[in-house]
Structure 1
């Protein structure tokens, strides 16, 4: 499928609601457990998504659209959520994510982006040149990746409890 902003917004709009439906009201064991050392819990994933809303997608979109001074992106701190989420409840994080996402999608919609703008380029710190369309498509896939990650982390809490059905449950492998 070719990049399509309208289709992308379908996913980006729903992500906060999907994650809220998956996580709201669950016990701490579901929310704070992870897959082992140096892996993320569902709580950590929500913090990561919030950090991206604040420092990644829209700032990089603005850098690309400005087309000034090489259009180089600032590096993204993939682990900032560990400090930024301290002391916050999952409910607070989900609400913050919902508000930030709504605001960011309003910004995108108000830009009334054109096909020509989708071809504009910016410089990623490690990937080099990327287009606006690639950035926006990555935002969508990033959301889907983390929704799948949350489901996988939660499923693995019962990895041993499923017994012989393990072989039929691809999410556990």
Structure 2
């Protein structure tokens, strides 16, 4: 078993909506909706992806592990569902994310997980057998990855404007792939 501690995971997961809101609230649409080209996401789309993950992915999979183990496979996750949503003000999207995340963490806490639950297994449609620890760790890493991705796509707006400073800003050479 790795380094996963449930309380560490929930502490970090609780911070994501505030962090994403701090990055995106009150930005002009041209910042929120710009992407780096084909097969990349905007900061707004990434926030929607985080919301959709909470609604349909992480906690439902943890519940499946707890209730059915490997007997019932996870539903595939539609990673691009948010791209078909009607656009709403970013403040509304972020409020929904904050609310859904809060409920997700309350529901996770209500499961009463203990360290002895972390090795329990479920069946991922692509990866096969995964442990609850891996799902919980992936949820945390997913949040951090996409928070960094939001910062990178926002920084990318200045990619051509920073001149020689670019050599010290590796984020400007990365693009936010649709993952």
* Same topology, TM > 0.5: yes
Tell me what 1:118 maps to: 118
Q: Per-residue displacement from partner, 1:2-55 (whole Å, max 9, x unpaired)?
A: 101111111100000000011100111210001111210011011111111111
Contact kept, 8 Å, 1:20 with 1:94, in 2: the verdict is yes
Contact kept, 8 Å, 1:71 with 1:121, in 2: the verdict is no
User: In structure 1, what is the Cα distance between the partners aligned to 2:157 and 2:7?
Assistant: 36
CA 163–69 in structure 1, closer or farther in 2 if over 3 Å, else same: closer
Tell me what 1:79 maps to: 80
CA 46–161 in structure 1, closer or farther in 2 if over 3 Å, else same: same
Relative to the length of structure 2, the TM-score reads 0.93
User: In structure 2, what is the Cα distance between the partners aligned to 1:59 and 1:121?
Assistant: 14
1:56 aligns with 2:57: yes
Structure 2: gaps of 5 or more residues? 174-179
Bigger fraction of residues in helix: 1
Contact kept, 8 Å, 1:72 with 1:125, in 2: the verdict is yes
User: In structure 1, what is the Cα distance between the partners aligned to 2:142 and 2:13?
Assistant: 10
Contact kept, 8 Å, 2:5 with 2:115, in 1: the verdict is no
Structure 1: gaps of 5 or more residues? none
Tell me what 2:43 maps to: 42
- Correspondence 1:1-173 to 2 at 5 A: 2-67=3-68, 70-84=71-85, 86-173=86-173
CA 152–46 in structure 1, closer or farther in 2 if over 3 Å, else same: same
Q: CA deviation at 1:69?
A: 6.5
CA RMSD, Structure 1 to Structure 2 (Å) = 1.2
Relative to the length of structure 1, the TM-score reads 0.96
User: In structure 2, what is the Cα distance between the partners aligned to 1:131 and 1:87?
Assistant: 35
More relative contact order in 1 or in 2 (CA 8 Å, sep 6+)?
A: 2
User: In structure 1, what is the Cα distance between the partners aligned to 2:76 and 2:151?
Assistant: 28
CA 144–69 in structure 1, closer or farther in 2 if over 3 Å, else same: closer
Contact kept, 8 Å, 2:121 with 2:130, in 1: the verdict is yes
Q: Displaced runs of 4+ in structure 1, greater than 4 A?
A: none
